[in-house]
């Protein structure tokens, strides 16, 4: 079973207490109910011994509480904004106003509208100007005992809530598919149909994709047709000034085939590997409890989870990578390198989401991580940049590479590797590399340069 690239294995302690509730409060549910839910979540997240805590409080725990009591930070929206330099732009009125972010997911979640409201209220955020859920291909009833649907519900919640964090003035349209995307072509034609629907109906200028299939699962004739169809669409989207983003994956250089068996050599994910998509890799962010940026390293928990990145076996090197240095060119060997940029993704430097689709006894705030954290937040950044520019920026990669080569407007990640599951990975280096791309956004300078290119 495969679930979305940022959720599976990224929910690290489950539902949290508010600081005033502490761990000792008991839930109303029986011990059998607790065991059933823990088992469900362990199957969704690939994490054993997942614990549920009391969910009586609607306020998220503070970062200070998490560090003292849980030995991890739990970055708030305000801290993430501060760490990546977005706060002054928001204070100046650049909130993504007038923009619309399109989010594509399987199944969705029946509680997303109310969960977003609760998340916003608990974090002092305004509601988005509009939030629309569309299912033009139909939908299926939500089954809270189905780990596949639950995994996608976590994904949907993350995508919606944290795209909104970065662009609180932007509208959001969530498009859901009734088919799970797994490996190979499964679910991809439906996602493409949704993205074409968004383009044809002019729903928005930014598309966030927090999912992917190993490129090699698409090397048969059916897979090649799917890639061809997506590539035609992505070029159409670029011509319509639509920005498309994707997470680079959560398993470093190790990904699986259609039978969930790992390949014996490094691989990358599609659509992150598409030359027309901005691929977002993963880091571990270290900031203080005010959100002051300290440093970042490549996300790698040394247990198989790491930021995706590497060399495509499908796509030739795009023109915007031609000017990368000779040492990089030797590794690329005329093929596309992934990722383009990066973002915090480590489940041990996590953010929080609020959800209630598991029922009232399990509603609350959950730790989460993965490169799906980066794709929707970069979508929010694109919305702010569009507003600042006064027009949609569209395909970002040529601009990002020019900025990366000429200016020091990224947090350059220079420590760590995305090696995983015994396979070699790629070391972080100065400037662009195959584990974090150009690095993470230093928006005080970067977003102005993006808007005025």
Kindly report whether the global pTM for this prediction surpasses the value 0.85: yes
| Residue 387: alpha-carbon gap to chain centroid | 22
Distance (Å, rounded) from C-alpha 26 to C-alpha 361? 10
Q: Report the side by side order of strands in the sheet with 364-368.
A: 15-16, 364-368, 351-355
Backbone dihedral region of 17: left (phi > 0), alpha (psi from -120 to 50 degrees) or beta? beta
The one catalytic residue in 106, 208, 254, 372 is 372
Distance (Å, rounded) from C-alpha 335 to C-alpha 180? 30
Distance (Å, rounded) from C-alpha 78 to C-alpha 88? 11
Residue 56 falls in the annotated catalytic set = no
- 198 in helix, strand or coil? helix
| Residue 372: alpha-carbon gap to chain centroid | 2
Q: What is residue 16's predicted lDDT score, i.e. its pLDDT?
A: 32
Q: What is residue 5's predicted lDDT score, i.e. its pLDDT?
A: 52
Non-local CB neighbours of 383 within 8 Å, separated by 6+ positions: 96, 99, 100, 101, 166, 167, 169, 170, 206
Distance (Å, rounded) from C-alpha 209 to C-alpha 218? 18
Q: Give CA separation, 49 vs 3, 37, 46, 108, in Å.
A: 19, 11, 10, 26
Non-local CB neighbours of 24 within 8 Å, separated by 6+ positions: none
| Residue 384: alpha-carbon gap to chain centroid | 17
Residue 156 and residue 84 in contact, taking contact as beta carbons nearer than 8 Å: no
For residue 234, what is the enclosing H or E element? helix 221-239
For residue 16, what is the enclosing H or E element? strand 15-16
Residue 159 falls in the annotated catalytic set = yes
Q: Could you tell me the sign of the dihedral formed by the alpha carbons of 388, 389, 391, 395, in that order?
A: negative
Sequential pLDDT tens for the chain (453 residues): 344 654 443 444 333 332 222 222 223 334 445 556 556 655 554 432 333 333 545 788 899 988 988 888 999 999 999 999 999 999 999 999 999 999 999 999 999 999 999 999 999 999 999 999 999 999 999 999 999 999 999 999 999 999 999 999 999 999 999 999 999 999 999 999 999 999 999 999 999 999 999 999 999 999 999 999 999 999 999 999 999 999 999 999 999 999 999 999 999 999 999 999 999 999 999 999 999 999 999 999 877 899 999 999 999 999 999 999 999 999 999 999 999 999 999 989 999 999 999 988 888 888 898 999 999 999 999 999 999 999 999 999 999 999 999 999 999 999 999 999 999 999 999 999 999 999 999 999 999 999 987
Write down the architecture of domain 15-451 according to CATH: 3-Layer(aba) Sandwich (3.40)
The one catalytic residue in 63, 79, 115, 159 is 159
* DSSP code for 417: B
Query: How is residue 176 written in tokens?
Result: 């859901």
Residue 372 falls in the annotated catalytic set = yes
- 314 in helix, strand or coil? strand
The one catalytic residue in 79, 120, 155, 340 is 155
Q: What is residue 100's predicted lDDT score, i.e. its pLDDT?
A: 98
């Amino acid at each position: 079973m495969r679930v979305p690239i940022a959720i599976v294995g990224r929910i690290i302690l489950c539902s949290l207490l508010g600081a005033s509730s502490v761990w000792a409060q008991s839930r109303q549910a029986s011990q059998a109910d607790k065991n059933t839910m823990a088992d469900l979540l362990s199957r969704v997240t690939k994490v054993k011994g997942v614990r549920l805590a009391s969910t009586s409080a609607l306020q998220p725990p503070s970062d200070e509480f998490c560090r003292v009591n849980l030995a991890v930070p739990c970055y708030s929206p305000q801290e993430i904004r501060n760490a990546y330099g977005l706060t002054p732009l928001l204070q100046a009125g650049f909130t993504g106003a007038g923009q619309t972010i399109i989010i594509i997911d399987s199944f969705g979640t029946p509680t997303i509208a109310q969960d977003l409201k609760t998340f916003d209220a608990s974090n002092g955020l305004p509601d988005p100007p509009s939030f629309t859920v569309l299912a033009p291909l139909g939908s299926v009833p939500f089954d809270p005992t189905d780990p596949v649907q639950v995994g996608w519900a976590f994904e949907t919640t993350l995508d919606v809530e944290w795209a909104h964090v970065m662009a609180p003035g932007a509208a959001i349209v969530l498009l859901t598919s009734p088919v799970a995307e797994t490996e190979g072509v499964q679910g991809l034609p439906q996602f493409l149909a949704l993205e074409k629907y968004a383009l044809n109906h002019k729903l928005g200028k930014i598309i966030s994709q927090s999912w992917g299939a190993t490129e090699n699962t698409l090397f048969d004739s059916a897979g090649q047709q799917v890639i061809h169809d997506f590539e035609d669409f992505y070029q159409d989207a670029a011509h319509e000034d639509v920005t498309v983003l994707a997470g680079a994956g959560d398993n470093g250089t190790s990904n699986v085939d259609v039978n969930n068996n790992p390949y014996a050599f490094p691989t990358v994910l599609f659509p992150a590997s598409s030359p027309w998509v901005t691929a977002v890799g993963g880091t571990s962010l270290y900031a203080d409890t005010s959100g002051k940026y300290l440093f970042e390293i490549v996300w790698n928990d040394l247990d198989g989870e790491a930021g995706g990145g590497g060399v495509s076996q499908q796509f030739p090197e795009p023109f915007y990578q031609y000017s990368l240095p000779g040492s990089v060119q030797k590794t690329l060997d005329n093929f596309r390198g992934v990722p383009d940029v990066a973002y915090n993704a480590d489940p041990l430097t996590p953010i929080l989401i609020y959800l209630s689709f598991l029922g009232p006894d399990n509603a609350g705030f959950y730790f989460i991580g993965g490169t799906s954290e980066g794709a929707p937040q970069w979508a929010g950044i694109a919305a702010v940049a569009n507003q600042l520019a006064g027009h949609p920026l569209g395909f970002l990669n040529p601009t990002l590479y020019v900025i990366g080569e000429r200016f020091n407007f990224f947090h350059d990640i220079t420590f760590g590797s995305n090696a995983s599951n015994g396979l070699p990975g790629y070391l972080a280096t100065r400037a662009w590399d195959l584990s974090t791309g150009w690095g993470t956004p230093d928006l005080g300078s970067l977003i102005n340069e993006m808007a005025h290119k």
